[in-house]
Structure 1
Amino acid sequence: MNKFQSVISDGFELNYCIKGLGRPVLVVGSSVYYPRLFSENLYKEFQFIFLDHRGFVKPPCALEPEDDILDKVLDDIETARQALKLEDFIVLGHSGHAFMALEYAKKYPEHVQKVVLLNSAPTNSPERQQQSFSFFDENADPARKRQFEQDIALLESDIKQDPERRFVHMCIRMGAHSFYDYTFDAVYMWNGVYTNMPIIDYLWGNTFGKLNMIQSLASFDKPVFIGLGRYDYLVAPVSLWDSIDNTDGGKVKKVVFERSGHNPMFEEPHSFDTQLIEWINEGK
């Protein structure tokens, strides 16, 4: 059972959950969802701090998303960092949260030692999203495609019954795009996860489409670990990252997990843990 604490930022009550001891790794996202993905083995090496952002908590009042919502999220993370007294830490972002992690490290570099970016495409532009769907259509095996067709056919009724959790329903019904084992049922992973849909819709549907992490990394001077899944059709293909080739003096390390989809920390925990632990401890 995870023990949650909270910090208030701009009226939002952001929960966080701390697991393990050692060098701190701040995981941006949902404090409920993400502890379910990482192995206990990592907590023997490091202190993982799972922090909500305002897309996963109830708003203090009615709100309209604005163009500066990402800046506000980054400021929330900084408020939490100060409250937690993190002076030298690693920031980790998975999927859309990779954009947050990198943008946070750019805006507040003083205390960030390293950055971990997991299972994201360089941009979330509509063109890239269509490229990922096309890659699935052209490369997924027939059984995976059939599973996807069966699952996605249920999405409309899911959303109709529970529209405020449409992000969750979509993530679950996209399982054949998300997991190496395309029959895996991820429902339990999302139990108890609140979604603030106006913020999620704006970040994923607008903000992240305007960012490009490859361009950002060109002028970024901290060590970066990029973890990708060979069967991660949500952000496919991994060749989108081909310009990052592990030969730029060691600043960026890219690892492709060959038997994983969107969650290599869950699907290949031994390999993932080995790679991440080794990288974090380099130059210790």
Structure 2
Amino acid sequence: MSIQSTVMSEGFALNVSILGNGRPILVVGSSIYYPRLFSEQLYTSFQLIFLDHRGFVKPPRTLEPEDYALDKVLDDIETARQTLGLEDFIILGHSGHAFMALEYAKKYPQHVRKVVLLNTAPTNSPERQQQSIAFFNETASPERKRQFEADISLLAGDIEREPERRFAHMCIRMGAHSFYDYAYDAAWMWEGVFTSMPVIDHLWGEAFAQLNLIDSLKEVVKPVFIGLGRYDYLVSPVSLWDAVDDSQEHVKKVIFEKSGHNPMFEEPELFDAILTDWIHETDN
């Protein structure tokens, strides 16, 4: 099953793409980008509901700072939940969207049954970002570093040509930080994806820098799945999550050994199997 619809929230037209059948998993982010990352097999077991947020849609007006506060994004998700009639669902956030997913589960816990956080660091503070860069410089292979240097040298030209797509171009040129296959070209994943840079700059640069997911986990009693990639240098090292261990019974942490920032795309069969097993195991 494939359904396309739109949820209106304060003038923002948030597109929704619904794929598959089964228990609903609400995936926060771009309704264009994220369906490209998950396997067709997963859609046979679950209904994935891909929801835009304000950072991925054309703004209906000149934006004011209050328009892209994180609380506004969380309220948009709740508006979408009500519009779509979701009463019992799993919320999934990947990368920066993990902050949205967990904060939503804190603010609106009534209908969330489980939370899936993929490929994120506990915080997006400048200090943590520098730590990730240092880890790449210290541990990445010479071949990976050469690929990164070649790719990143093209970024300035990309941004000069299309400044409004700065976020997408940065993600593409950071491929050596993002994929187990460090030469992988992810440009196709970003085709047709609109980015509203004021919203993204605020959320990634300010809002997520002030949060710490490990602290937030203490306020969430739902089952939580944390998926990480061993070669995900964007949010490295995985040891940032060492404080989350077996003593926290409601949290399961999995490191995908042959993945970077996208294990659902890079190791789809293993990812699908582990996530599916966890969902069933935590039903009791």
Deviation at 1:203, TM superposition (A): 0.4
Which residue pairs with 1:272 in the alignment? 271
CA distance in 1, matches of 2:57, 2:167: 14
1:90–1:115 contact (8 Å) kept in structure 2: yes
Distance 2:69 2:49 in 1: 23
Q: Name structure 1 gaps, 5 residues minimum.
A: none
Q: Does 1:211 align with 2:211?
A: yes
Q: What are the equivalent positions in structure 2 for 1:39-78 lying under 5 Å apart?
A: 39-66=39-66, 69-78=69-78
TM-score, with structure 1 as normaliser: 0.98
- Aligned residue runs from structure 1 range 12-31, under 5 A: 12-31=12-31
Task: Give the aligned residue type for 2:263.
Answer: P
Q: For the structure 1 residues 276 and 158, does the alpha-carbon distance in structure 2 shift closer, same or farther, using more than 3 Å as the test?
A: same
Q: Which amino acid aligns with 1:251?
A: H
Shift of 1:278: 0.4
- Give the secondary-structure state (helix, strand or coil) at the position aligned to 1:206: helix
CA distance in 2, matches of 1:13, 1:177: 32
Q: Pairwise mapping of residues 1-284 of structure 1 onto structure 2 (< 5 A)?
A: 3-66=3-66, 69-248=69-248, 250-284=249-283
For the 8 Å contact 1:124–1:209, the answer to whether it is kept is yes
In structure 2, distance between residues paired with 1:184 and 1:132: 20
Q: Is the 8 A contact 2:54 2:68 kept in 1?
A: no
Q: What is the distance in 2 between the residues matched to 1:116 and 1:188?
A: 25
Alpha carbons 1:64, 1:198 under 8 Å: kept: no
SS at match of 1:124: coil
* Aligned equivalents of 2:214, 2:92: Cα separation in 1: 17
Q: Which aligned runs of 4 or more in structure 1 are off by greater than 4 angstroms?
A: none
> Could you tell me how far apart the structure 1 residues matched to 2:66 and 2:125 are?
18
Give the deviation of 1:281 after TM superposition. 1.1
Distance of 2:268 and 2:184 partners within structure 1: 16
RMSD after superposition: 1.2
Determine if contact 2:3/2:19 at 8 Å carries over to the other structure.
no
- Is the Cα contact below 8 Å between 1:12 and 1:60 reproduced in 2? yes
Q: Aligned equivalents of 2:143 and 2:42: distance in 1? A: 34
Classify the secondary structure of the residue corresponding to 2:65.
coil
- TM norm structure 2: 0.98
Q: Distance in 2 between matches of 1:168 and 1:3?
A: 26
The percent identity for this pair of structures is 72
> Conserved in 2, the CA contact under 8 Å of 1:167 and 1:195?
yes
Contact 1:16 1:49 survives alignment (8 Å): yes
Question: Displacement of 1:282 after TM fit?
Answer: 1.6
Give secondary structure in 1 for the equivalent of 2:83.
Answer: helix
